[in-house]
Amino acid sequence: MQLRYRRNSSKNNLDFDWSSLNFNRTALLNFIIANHPKKVECNYLEIGCASNINFDSICLKNKVGVDPDMGGTLRLTSDDYFAKYKDSQFDVIFLDGLHTYKQTKKDLLNALNILNDGGIIVLDDFIPRDWMEHFTPRVQTQWNGDIWKISFELLNAKGVEFKILTIDGGQCVIFKKQEKIFLPDSYEDFKDLTFDYLYKNFSRLPIINLEEGLNWIKGKIE
Give Cβ neighbours of residue 7 (< 8 Å, ≥ 6 apart): none
Q: Given a cut of 80, is residue 130 above it in pLDDT? A: yes
What is residue 6's predicted lDDT score, i.e. its pLDDT?
A: 65
110 Cα distance to chain centroid: 13
Instruction: For residue 30, count CB atoms less than 10 angstroms from its CB and return exposed for 0-12, middle for 13-18, buried for 19 or more.
Output: middle
Q: Given a cut of 90, is residue 16 above it in pLDDT? A: yes
Give Cβ neighbours of residue 27 (< 8 Å, ≥ 6 apart): none
Residues 169, 133: Cα–Cα separation, whole Å: 10
**Mean pLDDT estimate for the chain:** 95
Mean pLDDT of 45-67: 97
pLDDT digits 0-9 by tens, 142-160: 999 999 999 999 999 999 9
Mean pLDDT of 75-99: 97
Among 110, 109, 206, smallest CA distance to 152 is for 206
Mean pLDDT of 53-67: 97
What is residue 139's predicted lDDT score, i.e. its pLDDT?
A: 87
Q: Given a cut of 60, is residue 96 above it in pLDDT? A: yes
pTM over 0.85: yes
Mean pLDDT of 74-102: 97
What is residue 178's predicted lDDT score, i.e. its pLDDT?
A: 74
User: Buried b vs exposed e over 144-153: b needs ≥16 C-beta within 10 Å?
Assistant: bbbbbbbbbb
Q: Given a cut of 60, is residue 72 above it in pLDDT? A: yes
Q: Kindly report the CA angle at 157 between 24 and 142, in degrees rounded to 5?
A: 30
The pLDDT confidence band at residue 7, using thresholds 50, 70 and 90, is confident
Mean pLDDT of 38-46: 97
Percent of the chain with pLDDT over 90: 91
Mean pLDDT of 20-26: 96
Beta-bridged to residue 147, according to DSSP, are none
